[in-house]
Amino acid sequence: MIIDVQKLILILVRITSFILVCPAFSFKGLPNIFKIALSVSISTMVYMVTPEMEITNELLYFAILAAKEALFGLAIGYVSKLVFAAIEIAGQLIDFQVGFSMASVFDPSIGANASNYGRIYYWISICIFFILDMHHKIIETLIKSFTYIPIGEANISGVGIEGVVNLFAIIFELALNLAAPMIIVVLVTDMVLGVISKTVPQINVLMLGMPLKAMVSFFFTLIMLSWLTSRIGNILETIP
């Protein structure tokens, strides 16, 4: 069997670009040799099922095709990353209300500053991601992308500014819906503290408010943990 090197390289470029961006496969602690082996193995399977492409002798044209495949792979990975970002944004909104946003620290696993609830929600989403077998579904969707947009073609119909705006609107809507119950709980706690400060002026509400809101938020997080995991699972199922 004669191997079409150009076809294999283009497939490998798209899949490698996706794996470098997708949160489930781009852990900084994950060995690079594993990422390379995963990319090569998936590319080999995709190579066997994709139709033959016309071989080009022009290096510039081939470089343009490779750049297009790299950008397309990065775009697919970025969309999957946006869903995880929605869950992390929900945690950051809660941190802002509770007061934990001042205690944000650098998270080496994601390479950025992360707050307490943001990290908790992120790692819960990662666990649920693998429990629901979403990594296999995402790989299946990635393989199907070669049917929707074959290598060597750049016809992406129906994608424009409106689609991008709608995508970001959906992400922020998911984040607000996920964070809304805890935000309401913290706001009710602030209202109770305000009533206490008016009825009992001797109590230092400023010193009492921070630990009380932290305790209430932890307590209600444990109560709503089953709902939270179910809701995060529903959000992650939208990735494919």
**pLDDT-flagged residues of the chain (< 70):** 1-3, 53-56, 100-115, 152-160
d(CA 205, CA 144): 57
Q: What is the pLDDT of residues 87-146, one digit of tens each?
A: 888 888 888 888 766 666 556 655 556 667 878 888 888 888 888 888 888 888 888 888
d(CA 66, CA 12): 10
d(CA 235, CA 82): 11
d(CA 89, CA 148): 31
pTM score, two decimals? Answer: 0.77
Identify the domain containing residue 133 by its residue range. 5-236
Strand partners, 20: none
pLDDT given at position 113: 63
pLDDT given at position 92: 83
224 in Cβ contact with 181 (< 8 Å): yes
DSSP assigned state of 105: E
pLDDT given at position 1: 43
The total of structural domains in the chain comes to 1
d(CA 112, CA 110): 6
98 in Cβ contact with 209 (< 8 Å): no
Rg (CA), the chain: 23
pLDDT given at position 79: 86
